[in-house]
Amino acid sequence: MCGGCCRRRRPAGASSGAGGGRGTAALAVAALAAAAVVAFLEGTARGVSYVSDGWFHDSVRWDAEGGRFLVTTMTDGRVVEVRGGGAGAGEGKEEARVVVADHGAAGRTATGLALDAARRRLLVVYTDLTPWFGYAAVGAYELGSWRRLFLARLDGPGDSTLADDVAVDEDGNTYVTDAKGNKIWKVSPDGEPLSVIKNATFFQRPGWINNFVGLNGIVYHPNGYLLVIHTSGGDLFKVDPKTGSVHVVKVQGSLKTGDGLALLSPTRLVAAGLVSRLVESNDDWETATVTGRYVGPAHRIGSAATVKDGDVYINHIIGFGFGFGKKTHVISKAVFAPL
């Protein structure tokens, strides 16, 4: 006989129910904490917020004459313009307007963006993402009318590439980075592929983890060379576009995960990323030092930088919203904390 002990035992479901209650409470607390963190980070997004189709927007450039930000959309391979927006991610937001939707690059991803102000044109990089990596091109469009001037294919038969970012020199030549193949394509002002810059120096560290994303952000320096960042390796390169020679800039401080670049002045460079950095050089980019950092809305992931009226603005890849509707996107005004 059990002597009544069975009646004193906790029912089989009671323990799990209590545990389940504690688990639910823990999840609720975690969700509230996560929401609080996101709300705080959203509050750091001072700058411009706007609504647009698609979850992912990559590159940004400020067009001073047009009074607008131009942004590439990764989902549908377009370029949108943003003329205003609220002071932060939670403020009143305008809707972005599509200005470039090239049927010749339909179905591709738009990544890099460069403004050729001297010729009043916009350069846009198109690519395929995983698992294809089989298409790379750069297009040029007349600012204002958005008429296509050229669309140049860069990939060759059997190539595995990831066309990423773009810069333009004073003669109108275009330079496009390959983040998968660690090379730079050079294209003439008329859209003719001219050459490819390859150099063993681009491979500074062995192992896939240090080469998962290779050459990425690129800018043309007024002294006649290119500055290019290697995202996974964190290296900064000074490249002579005429000879193809490559110099590793000795940087004090980390540039790991650096993405898009923008020149704030001949001696100051911004590297956007999950953590955006301000980099300075006093010897024509033989050496450099990371002198400031900016985090902002880190959950949105910084991807590109541009300069407007002397201030730095960081574009963030990830948009937020519910369902299949338009998403809220942020171009935050960066204030760098000195290091």
| CATH number of 173's domain | 2.130.10.10
Confidence tier at 316 by pLDDT (50, 70, 90): very high
Specify if 240 maps to a domain.
yes
Name the band, by pLDDT with cuts 50, 70 and 90, for residue 150.
very high
In a domain, 120, yes or no: yes
Angstrom CA distances, 84 to 112, 165, 327, 331, stand at: 22, 25, 16, 11
Q: Which domain holds residue 262?
A: 50-338
Q: In whole angstroms, what is the distance from residue 150 CA to residue 148 CA?
A: 6
* Residue 25 confidence class, pLDDT cut points 50, 70, 90: confident
Q: Is 35 inside a domain boundary?
A: no
Would you state the pLDDT for residue 88?
46
In a domain, 6, yes or no: no
Confidence of residue 208 (pLDDT cuts 50, 70, 90): confident
Total domains in the chain come to: 1
Task: List the beta strands (DSSP E) in 23-130.
Answer: 47-52, 57-63, 68-73, 78-82, 94-95, 97-100, 109-116, 121-127
Q: Which residue has the higher pLDDT, 158 or 153?
A: 153
Asked whether residue 42 is domain-assigned, the answer is no
> What is the structure's pLDDT at 215?
98
The predicted structure's pLDDT at residue 158: 86
Q: Say if 279 falls within a structural domain.
A: yes
Average pLDDT, the chain: 89
**pLDDT 10s digits, 217-251:** 999 999 999 999 999 999 999 999 999 999 999 99
C-beta atoms surrounding 140 within 10 Å:
24
Residue 97 falls inside a structural domain? yes
Residue 221: inside a domain = yes
Q: Is the pTM of this model over 0.75?
A: yes
- Give per-residue pLDDT as tens, 306-315: 999 999 999 9
